[in-house]
């Protein structure tokens, strides 16, 4: 895969209210359209339930029947074909070595993308415009290019550079690092953005520079907050290593095709491989889903998987989209959420400040003092929010008003 599943994974992971709120959200979802059915409705539901079950079972049976009776050829359910796909030899010589290669590439890739992501995530938050710009360009580029293209490119490039045996391996790892690292960079950015402003203010009061504040105060908390998202990302990485089989990396998928070639039972070995992938990915997904509740006590940031902003290079407004997508109404106007509330239930654009407002703790767009508040990044905010322009500013270059920061 792909490749770019992270995008979809991220969009899939938009149920911010985890832990305590999870159960609540679930019950809301299930009761939104139907509740307390009367006797007639209950009967009707039971009938639909039975019909649905029959249709689903019929569908499964039809698939199995097709397996057993393909239009021509052998019974695909016969033990003769399944035995070599499940035998001890198959596990020892094919599945386990393949799984090992897959895990090896995944582990290296996730570590690499963590490093890449922290570096470029900080890069996008630094007050130096050139660094911010370069980091953004790199991150957005890596998010836009399909992982498979990266893989093919690096594969041939490394091979051309004389990296013989391991060209495919390093191509897989580096491609996954670049893509997932750019996703992690986004996570770092939004994780820091979700921290209350007091954290940075306290750091500044202690005499830390913006970089020090980021490295020692903000990013570590953001990292804890994004741990669940990192695990989701690990699932993406794991799934994407299967792309390596296209560039001859002998991962689990490639090994299973080999095994199938040895015994003329590719369909069966593919099924076994699919099950292996599914079990590992599913366990990780469940962990990622359960983790936030346990982590919330360790950070003041928002422990949940943030929605990735759509790729729009250097468009600051995509930050809002990201917040908006994950926003929730309190269904019954009920309890306060565990995490800092950015919007107080409104996503209407009230002032110009919306572009950066989400980065602020306790932001209230309706507040009369809104325009006077300074935000991060300060210079940009000032200009956007107040329309302030320094005299002599010609190319939209944003400078702090006093020119001294």
147 is a site residue for another protein (CB under 8 A): yes
Q: Which of residues 103, 131, 208, 287 is near another protein by CB under 8 A?
A: 103
What gap in Å lies between CA 228 and CA 218, rounded to an integer? 17
39 is a site residue for another protein (CB under 8 A): no
What gap in Å lies between CA 316 and CA 250, rounded to an integer? 41
From 27-35, 116-124, 356-364, 371-379, give the range in contact with another protein by CB under 8 A: 27-35
Least separation in angstroms between residue 48's CB and another protein is 4
* Tokens 């599945």, located at residue: 95
Encoded tokens for 258: 């080999």
Q: Which of residues 82, 91, 104, 215 is near another protein by CB under 8 A?
A: 104
From 100-108, 187-195, 197-205, 385-393, give the range in contact with another protein by CB under 8 A: 100-108
What gap in Å lies between CA 26 and CA 50, rounded to an integer? 24
Q: Which of residues 20, 23, 62, 74 is near another protein by CB under 8 A?
A: 74
207 is a site residue for another protein (CB under 8 A): no
- CB-nearer residue toward another protein: 294 or 371: 294
From 64-72, 120-128, 356-364, 379-387, give the range in contact with another protein by CB under 8 A: 64-72
Least separation in angstroms between residue 401's CB and another protein is 28
Least separation in angstroms between residue 157's CB and another protein is 6
From 197-205, 311-319, 364-372, 388-396, give the range in contact with another protein by CB under 8 A: 311-319
Q: Which of residues 136, 204, 318, 398 is near another protein by CB under 8 A?
A: 318
174 is a site residue for another protein (CB under 8 A): no
Least separation in angstroms between residue 327's CB and another protein is 6
Least separation in angstroms between residue 391's CB and another protein is 32
What gap in Å lies between CA 148 and CA 277, rounded to an integer? 19
Site for another protein in 334-393 (CB under 8 A): 345-349
Q: Which of residues 273, 296, 375, 379 is near another protein by CB under 8 A?
A: 273
29 is a site residue for another protein (CB under 8 A): yes
- CB-nearer residue toward another protein: 273 or 375: 273
397 is a site residue for another protein (CB under 8 A): no
What gap in Å lies between CA 147 and CA 170, rounded to an integer? 13
211 is a site residue for another protein (CB under 8 A): no
7 is a site residue for another protein (CB under 8 A): yes
Total residues at the site for another protein (CB under 8 A)?
Answer: 132
332 is a site residue for another protein (CB under 8 A): yes
Site for another protein in 228-267 (CB under 8 A): 235, 238-243, 245-246, 248, 250, 253, 257-258, 260-267
What gap in Å lies between CA 184 and CA 229, rounded to an integer? 9
Least separation in angstroms between residue 377's CB and another protein is 20
* Tokens 């913006």, located at residue: 210
């Amino acid at each position: 895969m792909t490749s770019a599943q992270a995008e979809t994974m991220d969009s899939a992971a938009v149920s911010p209210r985890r832990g305590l709120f999870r159960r609540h959200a679930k019950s809301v979802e299930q009761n939104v359209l139907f509740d307390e059915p009367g006797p007639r409705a209950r009967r009707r539901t039971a009938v639909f339930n039975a019909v649905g079950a029959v249709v689903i079972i019929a569908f499964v049976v039809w698939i199995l029947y097709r397996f057993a009776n393909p239009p021509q050829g052998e019974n695909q359910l016969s033990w003769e074909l399944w035995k070599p796909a499940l035998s001890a030899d198959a596990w020892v010589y094919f599945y386990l070595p393949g799984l090992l290669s897959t895990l090896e590439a995944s582990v290296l890739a996730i570590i690499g993308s963590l490093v890449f992501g922290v570096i470029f995530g900080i890069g996008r938050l630094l007050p130096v415009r050139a660094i911010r710009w370069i980091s953004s360009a790199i991150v957005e580029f890596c998010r836009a290019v399909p992982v498979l293209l990266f893989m093919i490119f690096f594969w041939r490039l490394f091979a051309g550079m004389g990296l013989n045996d391991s060209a495919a391996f390093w191509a897989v790892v580096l491609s996954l690092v670049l893509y997932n690292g750019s996703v992690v960079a986004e996570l770092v950015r939004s994780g820091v953005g979700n921290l209350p402003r007091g954290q940075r203010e306290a750091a500044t009061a202690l005499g830390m520079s913006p970089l020090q504040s980021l490295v020692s105060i903000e990013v570590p908390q953001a990292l804890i907050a994004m741990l669940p998202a990192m695990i989701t990302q690990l699932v993406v990485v794991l799934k994407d290593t299967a792309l390596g089989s296209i560039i001859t990396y002998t991962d689990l998928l490639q090994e299973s095709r080999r095994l199938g070639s040895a015994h003329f039972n590719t369909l069966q070995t593919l099924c076994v491989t699919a099950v292996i992938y599914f079990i590992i990915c599913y366990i990780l997904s469940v962990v990622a889903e359960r983790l936030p509740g346990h982590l919330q006590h360790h950070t003041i940031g928002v422990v949940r998987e943030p929605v990735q902003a759509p790729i729009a290079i250097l468009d600051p407004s995509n930050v809002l989209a990201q917040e908006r997508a994950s926003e929730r109404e309190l269904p019954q106007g009920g309890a306060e959420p565990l995490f800092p509330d950015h919007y107080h239930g409104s996503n209407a654009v009230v002032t110009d400040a919306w572009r950066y407002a989400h980065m602020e703790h306790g932001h209230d767009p309706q507040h009369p003092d809104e325009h006077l508040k300074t935000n991060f990044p300060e210079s940009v905010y000032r200009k956007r929010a107040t329309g302030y322009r320094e005299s002599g500013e010609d190319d939209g270059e944003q400078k702090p008003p006093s020119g001294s920061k």
